[in-house]
Amino acid sequence: MRALVVGASAGVGRALCEALAARGVALLLVASDERDLGALAAHLRLVHGVEARSLAADATRVAEFVEQVGKAAAAFGPIDSLYFPIGASLVEDRGLLGIIQMRTILDCNLAVVIGVTTCILPELLTLPRANIVGFGSIAAVRGRKANVVYSAAKRGLESYFESLRHLTANTGVRVQFYRLGYVATQQSFGQRLLFPIVTPQNVAREVVRNLDKDIGKRFFPRYWSVIAFVVARLPWSIFKRLDF
Protein backbone atom coordinates (compact mmCIF):
# COMPACT_ATOMS: atom_id res chain seq x y z
CA MET A 1 0.00 0.00 0.00
CA ARG A 2 1.28 3.44 -0.96
CA ALA A 3 -0.48 6.64 0.05
CA LEU A 4 -0.29 10.37 -0.61
CA VAL A 5 -1.23 12.59 2.35
CA VAL A 6 -1.77 16.27 1.54
CA GLY A 7 -1.65 18.37 4.71
CA ALA A 8 0.48 15.81 6.52
CA SER A 9 2.53 17.78 9.03
CA ALA A 10 0.04 18.66 11.79
CA GLY A 11 -3.28 17.83 13.39
CA VAL A 12 -5.38 15.20 11.65
CA GLY A 13 -2.78 14.85 8.90
CA ARG A 14 0.03 13.94 11.28
CA ALA A 15 -2.17 11.53 13.24
CA LEU A 16 -3.32 9.91 10.02
CA CYS A 17 0.28 9.41 8.89
CA GLU A 18 1.06 7.68 12.20
CA ALA A 19 -1.98 5.41 11.89
CA LEU A 20 -1.24 4.47 8.28
CA ALA A 21 2.46 3.90 8.94
CA ALA A 22 1.52 1.58 11.81
CA ARG A 23 -0.23 -0.54 9.17
CA GLY A 24 2.86 -0.64 7.01
CA VAL A 25 1.70 1.90 4.42
CA ALA A 26 4.42 3.69 2.47
CA LEU A 27 3.80 7.44 2.59
CA LEU A 28 4.40 10.49 0.45
CA LEU A 29 3.90 13.45 2.80
CA VAL A 30 2.97 16.89 1.47
CA ALA A 31 2.65 20.15 3.43
CA SER A 32 4.16 23.62 3.47
CA ASP A 33 6.78 23.34 6.22
CA GLU A 34 9.89 21.49 5.07
CA ARG A 35 11.37 21.08 8.54
CA ASP A 36 8.20 19.59 10.05
CA LEU A 37 7.81 17.23 7.10
CA GLY A 38 11.42 16.07 7.23
CA ALA A 39 11.19 15.36 10.94
CA LEU A 40 7.90 13.49 10.53
CA ALA A 41 9.20 11.37 7.65
CA ALA A 42 12.32 10.45 9.64
CA HIS A 43 10.18 9.56 12.66
CA LEU A 44 7.90 7.30 10.59
CA ARG A 45 10.86 5.51 9.01
CA LEU A 46 12.51 4.96 12.41
CA VAL A 47 9.45 3.95 14.44
CA HIS A 48 7.42 2.03 11.86
CA GLY A 49 10.06 0.97 9.35
CA VAL A 50 8.08 2.26 6.38
CA GLU A 51 9.14 4.19 3.33
CA ALA A 52 8.34 7.86 3.93
CA ARG A 53 9.19 10.71 1.59
CA SER A 54 8.27 14.37 1.91
CA LEU A 55 7.50 17.31 -0.35
CA ALA A 56 7.23 20.91 0.85
CA ALA A 57 4.89 22.89 -1.41
CA ASP A 58 2.78 26.03 -1.18
CA ALA A 59 -0.95 25.28 -1.53
CA THR A 60 -1.70 28.93 -2.30
CA ARG A 61 0.12 28.48 -5.64
CA VAL A 62 -2.26 25.87 -6.99
CA ALA A 63 -0.85 25.15 -10.45
CA GLU A 64 2.70 24.90 -9.12
CA PHE A 65 1.53 22.81 -6.16
CA VAL A 66 -0.25 20.27 -8.37
CA GLU A 67 2.70 20.03 -10.74
CA GLN A 68 5.12 19.42 -7.86
CA VAL A 69 2.87 16.77 -6.31
CA GLY A 70 2.42 15.05 -9.67
CA LYS A 71 6.18 14.81 -10.22
CA ALA A 72 6.80 13.62 -6.65
CA ALA A 73 4.05 11.00 -6.98
CA ALA A 74 5.51 9.69 -10.23
CA ALA A 75 8.94 9.34 -8.58
CA PHE A 76 7.44 7.76 -5.45
CA GLY A 77 5.83 4.87 -7.33
CA PRO A 78 2.27 3.58 -7.79
CA ILE A 79 -0.07 5.29 -5.30
CA ASP A 80 -3.33 3.60 -4.30
CA SER A 81 -4.71 6.05 -1.73
CA LEU A 82 -5.19 9.81 -1.45
CA TYR A 83 -5.88 11.61 1.82
CA PHE A 84 -6.65 15.32 2.09
CA PRO A 85 -6.50 16.53 5.72
CA ILE A 86 -5.59 19.98 4.41
CA GLY A 87 -7.33 23.22 5.25
CA ALA A 88 -6.97 26.84 6.25
CA SER A 89 -9.19 29.30 8.07
CA LEU A 90 -8.98 32.88 9.36
CA VAL A 91 -10.59 34.37 12.46
CA GLU A 92 -11.48 37.52 10.49
CA ASP A 93 -13.42 35.53 7.87
CA ARG A 94 -16.72 37.31 8.44
CA GLY A 95 -17.65 38.36 4.92
CA LEU A 96 -15.14 41.17 4.38
CA LEU A 97 -11.90 39.43 3.46
CA GLY A 98 -9.56 40.86 0.86
CA ILE A 99 -9.06 38.95 -2.36
CA ILE A 100 -5.68 37.48 -1.33
CA GLN A 101 -7.03 36.12 1.95
CA MET A 102 -10.14 34.85 0.21
CA ARG A 103 -8.11 33.03 -2.44
CA THR A 104 -5.88 31.50 0.24
CA ILE A 105 -8.87 29.89 1.93
CA LEU A 106 -10.44 28.72 -1.34
CA ASP A 107 -7.18 27.34 -2.69
CA CYS A 108 -6.13 25.48 0.46
CA ASN A 109 -9.53 23.97 1.18
CA LEU A 110 -10.83 23.28 -2.31
CA ALA A 111 -8.71 24.02 -5.37
CA VAL A 112 -5.62 21.98 -4.47
CA VAL A 113 -7.75 18.98 -3.51
CA ILE A 114 -9.50 19.00 -6.88
CA GLY A 115 -6.22 19.64 -8.70
CA VAL A 116 -4.26 16.83 -7.05
CA THR A 117 -7.13 14.37 -7.34
CA THR A 118 -7.51 15.12 -11.05
CA CYS A 119 -3.78 14.56 -11.48
CA ILE A 120 -3.68 11.15 -9.74
CA LEU A 121 -7.17 9.81 -10.52
CA PRO A 122 -6.37 8.26 -13.93
CA GLU A 123 -3.84 5.98 -12.22
CA LEU A 124 -6.26 5.08 -9.40
CA LEU A 125 -8.93 4.08 -11.92
CA THR A 126 -6.65 1.35 -13.28
CA LEU A 127 -6.31 -0.32 -9.88
CA PRO A 128 -8.55 -3.08 -8.48
CA ARG A 129 -8.76 -1.18 -5.16
CA ALA A 130 -7.99 2.42 -4.23
CA ASN A 131 -9.09 5.07 -1.73
CA ILE A 132 -9.75 8.79 -1.81
CA VAL A 133 -10.58 10.37 1.56
CA GLY A 134 -11.60 14.00 2.06
CA PHE A 135 -12.33 16.05 5.16
CA GLY A 136 -15.05 18.66 5.46
CA SER A 137 -16.52 20.52 8.40
CA ILE A 138 -19.77 20.96 10.25
CA ALA A 139 -19.22 24.65 9.44
CA ALA A 140 -20.58 23.86 5.97
CA VAL A 141 -23.98 22.67 7.17
CA ARG A 142 -25.50 26.12 6.71
CA GLY A 143 -24.23 29.55 5.71
CA ARG A 144 -23.43 31.70 8.72
CA LYS A 145 -21.84 34.92 9.98
CA ALA A 146 -18.45 33.46 10.86
CA ASN A 147 -16.05 31.52 8.61
CA VAL A 148 -17.98 32.70 5.57
CA VAL A 149 -15.47 31.78 2.85
CA TYR A 150 -14.23 28.71 4.73
CA SER A 151 -17.78 27.35 4.97
CA ALA A 152 -18.34 27.98 1.27
CA ALA A 153 -15.10 26.19 0.38
CA LYS A 154 -15.95 23.18 2.53
CA ARG A 155 -19.46 22.99 1.09
CA GLY A 156 -17.93 23.08 -2.39
CA LEU A 157 -15.52 20.32 -1.36
CA GLU A 158 -18.41 18.20 -0.14
CA SER A 159 -20.17 18.64 -3.47
CA TYR A 160 -16.98 17.68 -5.30
CA PHE A 161 -16.65 14.46 -3.30
CA GLU A 162 -20.28 13.58 -4.01
CA SER A 163 -19.51 13.94 -7.73
CA LEU A 164 -16.27 12.01 -7.33
CA ARG A 165 -18.09 9.12 -5.65
CA HIS A 166 -20.63 9.07 -8.47
CA LEU A 167 -17.88 9.19 -11.09
CA THR A 168 -16.04 6.21 -9.56
CA ALA A 169 -19.12 4.17 -8.58
CA ASN A 170 -18.40 1.31 -10.98
CA THR A 171 -14.66 1.19 -10.35
CA GLY A 172 -12.39 -0.08 -7.57
CA VAL A 173 -12.02 3.41 -6.10
CA ARG A 174 -13.69 3.99 -2.73
CA VAL A 175 -14.48 7.65 -2.06
CA GLN A 176 -15.11 8.73 1.54
CA PHE A 177 -15.84 12.12 3.01
CA TYR A 178 -15.82 13.03 6.72
CA ARG A 179 -17.71 16.02 8.05
CA LEU A 180 -15.64 16.76 11.12
CA GLY A 181 -16.90 18.38 14.30
CA TYR A 182 -14.59 20.18 16.72
CA VAL A 183 -11.06 18.74 16.55
CA ALA A 184 -8.20 19.61 18.90
CA THR A 185 -6.00 21.72 16.61
CA GLN A 186 -4.35 25.14 16.72
CA GLN A 187 -7.60 26.65 15.40
CA SER A 188 -9.66 25.29 18.30
CA PHE A 189 -7.08 25.86 21.05
CA GLY A 190 -8.36 28.13 23.80
CA GLN A 191 -11.84 28.51 22.31
CA ARG A 192 -14.99 28.02 24.36
CA LEU A 193 -17.01 25.56 22.33
CA LEU A 194 -20.51 24.19 22.84
CA PHE A 195 -19.65 20.53 22.22
CA PRO A 196 -16.74 18.20 23.09
CA ILE A 197 -13.52 18.27 21.10
CA VAL A 198 -12.09 15.05 19.65
CA THR A 199 -8.39 14.46 19.15
CA PRO A 200 -6.74 14.07 15.74
CA GLN A 201 -5.91 10.52 16.82
CA ASN A 202 -9.65 9.80 17.24
CA VAL A 203 -10.23 10.96 13.68
CA ALA A 204 -7.32 8.93 12.30
CA ARG A 205 -8.53 5.75 13.99
CA GLU A 206 -12.01 6.24 12.54
CA VAL A 207 -10.62 6.72 9.04
CA VAL A 208 -8.37 3.67 9.18
CA ARG A 209 -11.17 1.55 10.65
CA ASN A 210 -13.48 2.37 7.74
CA LEU A 211 -11.05 2.17 4.82
CA ASP A 212 -12.56 -1.01 3.38
CA LYS A 213 -16.15 0.23 3.68
CA ASP A 214 -18.28 2.07 1.15
CA ILE A 215 -19.49 4.63 3.69
CA GLY A 216 -19.68 7.63 1.38
CA LYS A 217 -20.27 10.65 3.59
CA ARG A 218 -20.21 10.55 7.40
CA PHE A 219 -20.20 12.93 10.35
CA PHE A 220 -17.54 12.42 13.00
CA PRO A 221 -18.24 12.27 15.85
CA ARG A 222 -21.53 10.71 14.75
CA TYR A 223 -23.70 12.81 17.08
CA TRP A 224 -23.01 15.81 14.83
CA SER A 225 -25.49 14.34 12.35
CA VAL A 226 -28.30 15.13 14.81
CA ILE A 227 -27.00 18.65 15.49
CA ALA A 228 -26.61 19.32 11.76
CA PHE A 229 -30.14 18.07 11.08
CA VAL A 230 -31.54 20.53 13.61
CA VAL A 231 -29.41 23.49 12.49
CA ALA A 232 -30.25 22.95 8.82
CA ARG A 233 -33.96 23.03 9.59
CA LEU A 234 -34.14 25.94 12.01
CA PRO A 235 -36.61 28.58 10.76
CA TRP A 236 -34.88 31.63 9.33
CA SER A 237 -36.53 33.84 11.95
CA ILE A 238 -34.60 31.92 14.63
CA PHE A 239 -31.43 31.09 12.72
CA LYS A 240 -30.65 34.71 11.78
CA ARG A 241 -30.40 35.63 15.47
CA LEU A 242 -27.64 33.12 16.14
CA ASP A 243 -24.11 34.48 16.25
CA PHE A 244 -21.92 31.63 15.03
Evaluate whether residue 203 is within a structural domain: yes
Asked if residues 197 and 185 have their Cβ atoms less than 8 Å apart, the reply is no
According to DSSP, the residues that pair with 26 across neighbouring strands are 2
- Confidence band (pLDDT; 50, 70, 90) for 185? low
Q: Indicate whether 188 pLDDT > 80.
A: no
Residue at 134 is within a domain? yes
Q: Is residue 244 part of a domain?
A: no
- E strands, the chain, in order: 2-6, 26-31, 52-56, 81-84, 130-137, 173-180, 217-220
d(C-alpha 140, C-alpha 179), whole Å: 9
For residue 53, which of 4, 123, 120, 121 has the smallest C-alpha distance?
A: 4
Instruction: Write out pLDDT tens, residues 197-244.
Output: 889 999 999 999 999 899 999 999 999 899 889 988 999 988 888 776
- Beta partners for 53? 28
CA distance 77 to 108: 25
- Output DSSP code: residue 196: P
Query: In whole angstroms, what is the distance from residue 146 CA to residue 89 CA?
Result: 11
Banded pLDDT at 182 (limits 50, 70, 90): confident
Determine, yes or no, domain membership for 87. Answer: yes
Q: Print the domain residue range for 109.
A: 2-239
The Cα–Cα gap between 36 and 70 comes to 21
In a domain, residue 164? The reply is yes
If we measure between CA atoms, which residue out of 133, 135, 239 comes closest to residue 185?
Answer: 135
Q: Is residue 115 part of a domain?
A: yes
Q: Is the pLDDT of residue 138 over 50?
A: yes
3-state secondary structure of 197: coil
| pTM across the whole model | 0.92
What pLDDT shows up at residue 193?
56
Does 93 map to a domain? yes
Predicted pLDDT at 170:
92
Residues 14-62: tens digit of each pLDDT = 999 999 999 999 999 999 988 999 999 999 999 999 999 999 999 999 9
Overall domain count for the chain: 1
Give the domain CATH number at 200: 3.40.50.720
Torsion of the alpha carbons at 148, 219, 48 and 119, rounded to the nearest 10: -60
Q: Closest Cα to residue 78, out of 138, 125, 148?
A: 125
